[in-house]
Amino acid sequence: MKITAARALPGQFRMIVPFKTANVVNEVLGLTHVVIETDEGLTGYGEAYPAFEVTGETQAGVVDVLENYLFPALIGAEIDSRQSVRDLKQSYDPDRAPQILAANPGAKAAVDMALLDLLGKKEGRPLCRVLNPEAPAELTLPLTGAVGIMDSVEAAVAVGRLQSDNGLTRLKVKVGLDLEHDLKVITALRAALPETSLCLDANQGWVTWEGAARFFERLGEGVVEYVEQPVLADDYLGFVELRNRFPLKLMADESVHTLGQARTLLQMGAVDYLNLKIMKHGGILNSLAICDLAAQYGVPCQVGSMGENVVASAAGAHLFLSHDNLRHAELIGWWVYDRPADKQLAAVDGRLVLPDAPGLGVDGARLLASL
């Protein structure tokens, strides 16, 4: 099938409650949806969230890159197989040549997922089964919840309880601004939800390994499953110092955007887990390449989220279902927006339930009506 048209549809989406981390407070997010049309009447959908604090992108930049750099590379292209999608991707995001357009992973991710959505629709299969024919027959996956930095311990516990009551058995707790407050929140959550697995995410808030060490010394062993991004993104040696000094498991997020960065972290033995995000890596295919590499080193991964809505959350879920080295999924961004029409996904007993439909399974008419 031949690509005949592509559009970028930017919009503002408000979260039900603000979500605070060590480096940003998210309340209204500027998401851009991508619509790609073909001569066979099939339409593919993608979504870009410019997480400026992580990737440096802005919504205006995403739209500019899509309309002036990426879309011109698509029009007239033929796609009929996974290899043809890979070949097309190489024209605007090469992995074995100097970059034609550096960075801009959110814009590239939106195009990537729209192309793969089209491929799934052409083949009449959910995307996870296009990516891996042995993907699970049941399109469901367990969700990891999230507790942002809250003003009070009581508020944090209330958020944790709400998610636990909805069947989530694993929570990521944002920390990194106030050591004493963070420790009180963790203690209270541990007491209130003794059967819930807790993970921590500092989002670089402790800055140095010494800052993280002060927290680790107070935290103790066996309290949390892992600690994510305890140092600044480029401080790979800080990860190594912490792994050498403490028994806590460490996960890299902001430190791993590219396959090359992942290779460096893995070869250094710097981390126990990698947090993969489609928006950070520039699409599903790039995320899969990093996941493949991590599997070679025996390092498990999870699918993370920057607060994407239904399209990118569905893409993340299909990514998760397509690879055995993906162990957890943090894909509740779609759950916290204030537009009911956007909620095409469902969460039942702590599990994300995907539509059993070709491609991403997104209802395009319903999606466009909600934008």
How many Å apart are CA 343 and CA 336, to the nearest integer?
A: 9
Pairing verdict, β 250-252 and 273-276: parallel
Give domain limits for the chain: 3-124, 140-370
- What confidence score (pLDDT) does residue 337 get? 83
Question: Can you give the C-alpha Rg of the chain in angstroms?
Answer: 20
Question: Facing residues of 47 across strands?
Answer: 33
* pLDDT (0 to 100) of residue 362: 94
Alpha-carbon distance of 65 to 363, in angstroms, equals 26
Is the per-residue pLDDT at 339 higher than 80?
Answer: no
Quick: pLDDT tens for 244-294.
999 999 999 999 999 999 999 999 999 999 999 999 999 999 999 999 999
- pLDDT exceeds 90 at position 338: no
Q: What pLDDT does residue 290 have?
A: 98
Segment 1-16 shows an average pLDDT of 95
**CA 50/CA 56 separation, integer angstroms:** 7
Q: Give the model's pLDDT for residue 105.
A: 98
- 313 — pLDDT class (breaks 50, 70, 90): very high
Query: What pLDDT does residue 257 have?
Result: 98
Is residue 134 scored above 70 in pLDDT?
Answer: yes
Residue-averaged pLDDT of the chain: 96
Across 348-369, average pLDDT? 94
What does the angle CA 170 – CA 164 – CA 51 come to, to the nearest 5 degrees? 60
| Fold (CATH) for 140-370 | TIM Barrel (3.20.20)
Helix, strand or coil for residue 24?
coil
Q: Average pLDDT in the 126-145 region?
A: 97
pTM of the model: 0.97
Q: What is the pLDDT of residue 227?
A: 98
The pLDDT value recorded for residue 11 is 94
- Count the Cβ atoms, other than its own, within 10 Å of residue 187: 13
Query: For the chain, what percentages of helix, strand and coil (3-state, to nearest 5) are there?
Result: 40, 20, 35
Mean pLDDT over 69-91 rounds to: 96
Q: Considering only 245-249, 298-302, 336-340, which range has the smallest mean pLDDT?
A: 336-340
Dig out the tokens for 12 from the structure.
Answer: 């503002």
Residue type, 127: L
Angle ∠(319,324,330) on CA atoms, nearest 5 = 50
Q: Is the pLDDT assigned to residue 370 strictly greater than 90?
A: no
Residue 227, beta-bridge partner list = 200, 250
Whether the pLDDT of residue 168 is over 80: the answer is yes
pLDDT surpasses 80 at 296: yes
Distance CA 30, CA 182 (A): 29
Mark out the alpha helices in the chain (DSSP H runs).
52-55, 59-65, 71-74, 82-92, 105-123, 127-131, 153-165, 179-192, 209-219, 236-245, 259-268, 278-281, 284-296, 310-321, 364-370
Q: Which amino acid is at 148?
A: G
pLDDT band at 111; cut points 50, 70, 90 = very high
> How many other CB atoms sit within 10 Å of the CB of residue 74?
21
Q: What is the number of other CB atoms lying within 10 angstroms of the CB of residue 297? A: 14
pLDDT band with cut points at 50, 70 and 90 for residue 342: low
Closest CA to 219 of 249, 248, 250: 248
| pLDDT given at position 96 | 86
| Sheet containing 227-228, strands listed edge to edge, beginning at the edge strand earlier in sequence | 145-147, 170-174, 197-201, 227-228, 250-252, 273-276, 301-303, 326-329
Contact present, 203 and 194 (Cβ < 8 Å): no
CB atoms within 10 A of CB 52: 14
State mean pLDDT over 142-152: 97
Considering only CA atoms, which of 288, 282, 229, 284 is closest in space to residue 255? 229
The per-residue pLDDT for 340 is: 57
Tell me yes or no: is domain 3-124 CATH 3.30.390.10: yes
What separation in angstroms does the CA of 36 have from each of 1, 78, 79, 111?
12, 12, 12, 8
Q: Do domains 3-124 and 140-370 have the same CATH topology?
A: no
pLDDT band at residue 341, thresholds of 50, 70 and 90? Answer: low
- Locate tokens 């993970």: which residue? 199
